[in-house]
Structure 1
């Protein structure tokens, strides 16, 4: 036995109004459905009520759009006037913070001094793709200018570290190594205040 598929959940409000009109017309005088339940008057009333509600919403949206447009224009005018007022207070006060605050206006904060850079973390070292190389990777550090990469042969001494490069990305290939030899690597981030602390050293054998 066939079942009715209404599909109401997939319809818009206006599609439901049209559907109600169509059903009302189709069942009126239909010999297959002589005693509709609910009666067709209920279908007509429900359809007309939904139509009226949809029209009310449409008009309300138009009114809201007009009101929002008026608000946007008023806000732009307010911003323009207050920007001029702020300029007047700034100039007339001579930049005196107390005078600016006496006009119920805030004083702009000065530039934030640069902070010391953190220690570079998660340094890893592996043999490179080519002979006499090692590839390094580490966790990026924000607000750095570049990194300082140093290399030391094994074993490490106080004077065995030498600079291998100044990359700007959080990876670097150290070249010119001796194939099969063990090396140690460390990385520091460098910024406006100088270099941050050295990373924990990583080790690998050159390819």
Structure 2
């Protein structure tokens, strides 16, 4: 039978978790492999320092190291993205974690504008090829959507500036960003005579 919260049947959940546990006990190396892939402070620091070192050499004229620079940049992006993913997961249990890292922050408590525009829900960003693409759920009454970005302290309102306006919200490609630089982004709906409230902001490193 289903539990009182309307979730999966207890029998199915117990069977699935039992199978997972059995497989992990049979082959403990699986967990070790997972731990090896997981990011940590030392890995991120090493990748960051290597990126800086190679970047400075390329700026100094070592053009033959551009391939190494791209690899170093991609490693920083990979480590940062893994950490961001872990923060998102742990943030569901402890919301203070992403807030303490400045990765997600609710701008105010207002959820709708005078014209009735709501906050774009499910705001998210992803890497697609060499670009960052933003998406969110459509807002009733919206004529367009604005994305603003911040390159410094996202808690300082004056740090934000307009970056893109789109009539669609299912795919907004963000261009003109500096590779390897960390940005903060937020989105809002715009109506005929009013703009809606801002979404949470999200951090993302340009590639």
- TM-score (normalizing by structure 2): 0.41
- TM-score (normalizing by structure 1): 0.41
Q: Which protein has the larger Cα radius of gyration, Structure 1 or Structure 2?
A: 1
